[in-house]
């Protein structure tokens, strides 16, 4: 019922948001009669602030049109390479008229960026993608809003997430021979599982695996996010945060963890910071500081755009990652493509070099949580492992902003380049896809 109430409130506020937007333009236009008033700038700023607080935030665009490579402008074209029920594999294809630049682009490494499915859209990694495009062929997992996925497309489980990652890796290996994988935040766990299962089967695994700010071992330096997941029972989450999508959306009837609840939780973690940010935005508008006002708009256009997550996937993540710690305990079983249970064994990875990145001030994934991957991947030589702690960086700072561009990315680029010609093992025979009924096989929680 809460979802329906939220949607009714949003629909009710929509005309008021439209009015506030029109009023802001009317008072902000110097040639308008209303814009001649001495207080017009303040009134316009107030109306724009109201508009931004009341408006509905839709999925943003990546909007990456060009990048610079060796002083040459390279044009970027987005394309959906694979379209799955719950995710698109999106490619950023690069074009250049300069023959030397084009030859260089074709020789660069291929990177699969696995974006978080934790409330925000993949566009949150826009800065990550933009930097990578200067030196790599880039693909990204663009997760769909679960409320737009019709019920006939089936459920989405954590096992399906792992399966998607494996399918995308194999797809790129089929085109380029191999690839590198970068996971940011939440997907560090399923990506490590996906690569572990491929290694256990004797499949070719990615050349490198970069894990950034993720809860590999959420027991270490638990944050407020971790404590909530650890201290509430599985039944509490199922009974209090799972709702059905209203009839106004294509996914009507689907059980989801709504994006608006996730957004409320994000804001509640730092309410004073957001209040100050909105007040500063008002002052920037009054002062005519367009650059700072636009910076605020861009941040909150991304921050306020949230998506729903399928309930099965969300609840299984809570249980597997934050309550049972199944990955670090070695008790995590995943349903394979053939419908069989396979144990996740990171120690079976031997050829994939891996890099972990943590922010000193990360308040979402605490210190040591991501670095724990090195203790699990005992089959990888120490010479093929590296850990980075970014001083003064919070969670978002390790993949976006100045510290990402100046501190983290150069090291990620160097790590990928160093192991781009790493060892390759032959592919093993993969099992045939499972029958639809196999998904219904019951899986008991690990002991």
pLDDT at 101: 93
Q: How much of the chain exceeds pLDDT 70, in percent?
A: 94
Distance CA 235, CA 248 (A): 28
Asked whether residue 244 is assigned to any structural domain, the reply reads no
Q: Do the domain assignments include residue 8?
A: yes
Residues 131 and 159 placed together within one structural domain of the fold: yes
How far, in whole angstroms, is CA 179 from its chain's centroid? 19
Cβ proximity of 22 and 43 under 8 Å: no
- The CATH number given to whatever domain includes residue 97 is 3.40.50.1820
| Residue 430 resides in a domain | no
Q: Which of 291-305, 388-402, 422-436 has the lowest mean pLDDT?
A: 422-436
Q: Single out the residue in 281, 303, 325 at which a domain terminates.
A: 303
**The domain containing residue 362 runs over which residues?**
66-239+309-425
Q: Are residues 174 and 295 in the same domain?
A: no
Does residue 438 surpass a pLDDT of 50?
no
Condensed to tens digits (0 to 9), the pLDDT of residues 60-114 reads 999 999 999 988 999 999 999 999 999 999 999 999 999 999 999 999 999 999 9
| Per-residue pLDDT at 447 | 33
| Same domain, residue pair 34 and 162 | no
**Residues 318, 202: one domain?**
yes
- Beta-strand runs (E) in 217-327: 243-244, 255-257, 309-310
Q: Report the pLDDT value the prediction gives residue 44, as an integer from 0 to 100.
A: 94
Same domain, 216 and 264: no
Task: Convert 380-413 to b/e letters by CB count within 10 Å (16 or more is b).
Answer: beeebebebbbeebbbbbbbbeebbeebbbeebb
- What is the number of structural domains in the chain? 2
> What's the pLDDT at 8?
87
The reported pLDDT for the residue numbered 422 is 60
Final residue of a structural domain among 269, 284, 303: 303
**Does residue 368 belong to any structural domain of this protein?**
yes
Return the pLDDT at 229: 86
Query: Which tens digits make up the pLDDT trace of 141-196?
Result: 999 999 999 999 999 999 999 999 999 999 999 999 999 999 999 999 999 999 99
75 plus 133 within the same structural domain: yes
Q: Is the pLDDT of residue 400 over 70?
A: yes
> Is-contact 121 307, C-beta < 8 A?
yes
The answer on 200 and 95 residing in a single domain is yes
Helix (H) or strand (E) holding 142, with range, is strand 137-143
Residue 430 has pLDDT above 70, yes or no: no
Confidence (pLDDT) at 146: 96
User: What are the CA-CA distances from residue 269 to residues 107, 301, 365, 388 (Å)?
Assistant: 44, 19, 14, 26
Residue 442 covered by a domain: no
- Write down the pLDDT at residue 436: 36
- 134 and 272 housed in the same domain: no
87 & 135 share domain: yes
Name the average pLDDT for the chain. 91
Give yes or no: residues 8 and 112 share one domain: no
Q: Is residue 218 part of a domain?
A: yes
Asked if residue 445 is part of any domain, the answer here is no
- The SS3 call for residue 367 is coil
Q: Residue 439 domain-assigned? A: no
**Is the whole model's pTM more than 0.95, yes or no?**
no
For residue 359, the SS3 value is strand
Asked if residue 212 lies in contact with residue 187, where contact means CB atoms within 8 angstroms, the answer is no
**Do 319 and 409 belong to one domain?**
yes
Q: Are residues 34 and 89 in the same domain?
A: no
């Amino acid at each position: 019922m809460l979802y329906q109430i939220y949607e009714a409130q949003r629909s009710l506020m929509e005309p008021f948001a439209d009015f506030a937007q029109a009023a802001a333009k009317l008072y902000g236009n110097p040639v308008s009669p209303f814009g001649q008033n001495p207080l017009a700038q303040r009134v316009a700023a107030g109306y724009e602030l109201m508009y931004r607080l009341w408006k509905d935030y839709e999925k943003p665009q990546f909007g990456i049109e060009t990048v610079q490579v060796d002083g040459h402008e390279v044009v970027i074209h987005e394309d959906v390479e694979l379209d799955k029920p719950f995710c698109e594999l999106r490619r950023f294809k690069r074009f250049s008229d300069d023959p030397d630049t084009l030859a260089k682009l074709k020789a660069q490494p291929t990177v699969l960026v696995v974006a978080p499915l934790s409330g925000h859209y993949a566009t949150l990694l826009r800065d990550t993608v933009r930097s990578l495009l200067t030196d790599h062929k880039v693909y990204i997992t663009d997760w769909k809003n679960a409320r737009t996925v019709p019920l006939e497309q089936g459920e989405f489980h954590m096992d399906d997430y792992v399966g998607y990652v494996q399918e995308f890796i194999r797809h790129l290996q089929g085109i380029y021979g191999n690839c590198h994988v970068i996971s940011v935040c939440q997907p560090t766990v399923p990506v490590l599982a996906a690569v572990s299962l491929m290694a256990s089967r004797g499949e070719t695994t990615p050349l490198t695996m970069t894990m950034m700010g993720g809860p590999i071992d959420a027991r270490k330096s638990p944050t407020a996010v971790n404590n909530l997941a650890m201290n509430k029972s599985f039944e509490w989450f199922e009974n209090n945060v799972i709702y059905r999508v209203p009839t106004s959306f294509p996914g009507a009837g689907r059980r989801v963890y709504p994006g608006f609840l996730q957004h409320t939780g994000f804001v509640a973690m730092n309410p004073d910071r957001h209040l100050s940010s909105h007040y500063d935005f008002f002052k920037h508008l009054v002062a005519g500081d367009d650059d700072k006002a636009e910076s605020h708009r861009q941040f909150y256009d991304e921050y306020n755009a949230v998506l729903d997550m399928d309930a099965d996937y969300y609840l299984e993540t809570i249980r597997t990652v934050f309550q049972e710690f199944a990955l670090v305990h070695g008790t995590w079983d995943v349903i394979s493509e053939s419908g069989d249970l396979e144990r996740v064994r990171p120690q079976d990875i031997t050829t994939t070099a891996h890099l972990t990145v943590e922010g000193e001030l990360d308040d979402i994934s605490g210190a040591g949580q991501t670095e724990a991957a090195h203790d699990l991947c005992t089959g990888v030589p120490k010479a093929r492992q590296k850990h980075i702690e970014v001083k003064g960086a919070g969670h978002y700072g390790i993949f976006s902003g100045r510290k990402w561009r100046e501190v983290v990315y150069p090291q990620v680029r160097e790590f990928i380049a160093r192991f781009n010609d790493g060892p390759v093992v032959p592919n093993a025979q993969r099992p045939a896809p499972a029958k639809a009924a196999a998904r219904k096989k019951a899986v008991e929680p690990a002991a």
